[in-house]
Structure 1
Amino acid sequence: MHEGGKLAVAATIPLTSPEDLSRAYTPGVAEVSRAIADDPSLARRYTWVANTVAVVTDGTAVLGLGDIGPRGAMPVMEGKAVLFKQFAGVDAVPICLDTTDPDEIVETVARLAPSFGGINLEDISAPRCFDIERRLDARLDIPVFHDDQHGTAVVVLAALRNAVRLLDRDLAGLRVVVSGAGAAGVAVTRMLAAAGVADLVVCDSRGVLSGDRSGLSPVKATLAAETNPRGVTGSMADALRGADVLIGVSGGRIDEAAVAGMAPDPIVFALANPTPEVHPDVAHRYAAVVATGRSDFPNQINNVLAFPGIFRGALDANARTITAAMKLAAADAIAAVAADDLRPDRIVPSALDPRVAPAVASAVAAASD
């Protein structure tokens, strides 16, 4: 499947005669170039920019493989581009940068930006990813979206909305524990807070993020200040005691005893891939609803449910940025696709469901107004 790569460039026009050639290229193309030079906004109409996204990585946080470098990351970025095209008709170009310096990444992407209608940042390690996305979003007039953060958060919220609906519970009243304070953990926490979850506790490998913890990075210190309203301290087991929801985005193992200490019939999303924080067989001993990041178990929390439609909607709306409202709208749209047939083993649509990307695109475009 991967021999020769998974992508190719295809022409959208015929070149079967000298007239075709003279119109598509020189001399005819000069008229289009002059028009765009006079009015840069015409690039959206007369070039591929309005339908093309750059998928940019430095190869420092690829899947569960870690820092494998730009060449090792290329098969993943190619795959991402295939998903963009397959599910949303968006053309995507993988760009693997041979630098891990945030300043160089920001400057390189900014220089490349005129060729694209959006920037999908991918597999860039935390905490650098936060700074890189923030700076590019402020600098560019096209959408910038770090999928490892926000794509994960959107699908987690969609799944949690449906799990709560299935169990006849109240989203705002949940006690939620997030295991992991990296890119996905930070974004999931903030997305759930924006959706109305008030009781959020975040844990890293050393335990609960709280105000009395020393040595926290600036990102973790901010997260500690924004969460943990009951002042929980201690270990993961302490955080999970009486909790309604566990969302694992850390890759660290969580003991069965800690899961057993949760509230009755909890919700467990153990999303590390390929090895979930809690194996589904163990989680099912206690949980009413279980989700993973794997395709060989039910309820796969898969970012492909989010990013193709999000970019399709943002491109269609000529959006300059992807706002919190657009991400919330995307989560609601994903949840709605599965809402008519909810079961404990079906709280999100299949990644192959053709209804998802159009529904997300429509919701995102509407929310961009």
Structure 2
Amino acid sequence: MRVIVDAMGGDNAPLEIVKGCAAAVGELGVEILLYGDRDKLDGIFDGTGLSREGITVIHAPDVIEMEDDPGISIRSKKNSSMVMALTALAAGEGDAFVTAGSTGAALAGATLIVKRIKGVKRAALAPLLPGKKGPVLLIDCGANVECKPEYLEQFGVMGSVYMDKIVGVKNPRVGLINIGTEPTKGGDLQREAHRLLGESKANFVGNIEPREIMMGACDVAVADGFTGNVVLKTIEGMAKFFTSALKDLFYESLVTKLSALGVKKGLARFKKTMDYKETGGAPFIGVSKPVIKAHGSSDARSFCSAIRQAKIYAESGMIEQIAEYYSVTSEKK
């Protein structure tokens, strides 16, 4: 398995990216093609003593910065680490791509260079959220701020394939995020998406309110990118709040500190469940090859997890299944 990596993207690049890649080679047995400034990357290897085994450095002198316009930078910065890496993926030089860089640029590059699966109208960014009854896939969480009903229908179908192939959930339940459970709730987008999802291949269970997502109301939560991003960031904020509040509670007095010892293992499991570093990143579902967006603030452990996710994604066969589904669907029309 050969994973292509953008070494220069993210808040902690390139040091933590290089550390994560070295860990992935040792833990996952993957080969890494590392795109970035050769002098900086060589300096990291020499300065830290990290092994270069399994890692090939390819010089890419430019960087797409977070403030750069995604579409313009993908077209103009041909020698950037992200563009060169995505071009290599499109050419078949690797099996998957991982970046902690600009989400907008990664989506633009994946769409323009790697291309979407034939029949897929829009690629969607889809993170896994922790849930009471198991993980929940949120699709989309920001790639498509403005959507059409048919996009949401495809998100539901593609999300179902992901949960089946990657997570192992058979016949996953698909819910449409809305302000109420009745089919008439929401605007024109939600009402028409509700109708299309009900007629689709997906196991559609109807509208779900945001408060029910993590309580197990569905396995795939479908939304337009604006709504999904608000939901995701609200959940992230609440997770930080609860973790901080619990810590403050158990450090209030000697009695609470002693009580904390009794639930220490349970608290550790809770913290791990809410930690994005365990997942590492989110895939752009609908792209013709695996493209994983790692968290912008990824450290070495988080980036290694993102590479693990890329490996699983590439080996799952889900892209081929989605391509086959839309090929058959197209023939029937």
TM-score surpassing 0.5?
A: no
TM tier, smaller: 0.3 to 0.5
Q: TM-score, normalised by structure 1?
A: 0.37
Indicate the structure (1 or 2) with the bigger Cα radius of gyration.
1
Q: TM-score, normalised by structure 2?
A: 0.40
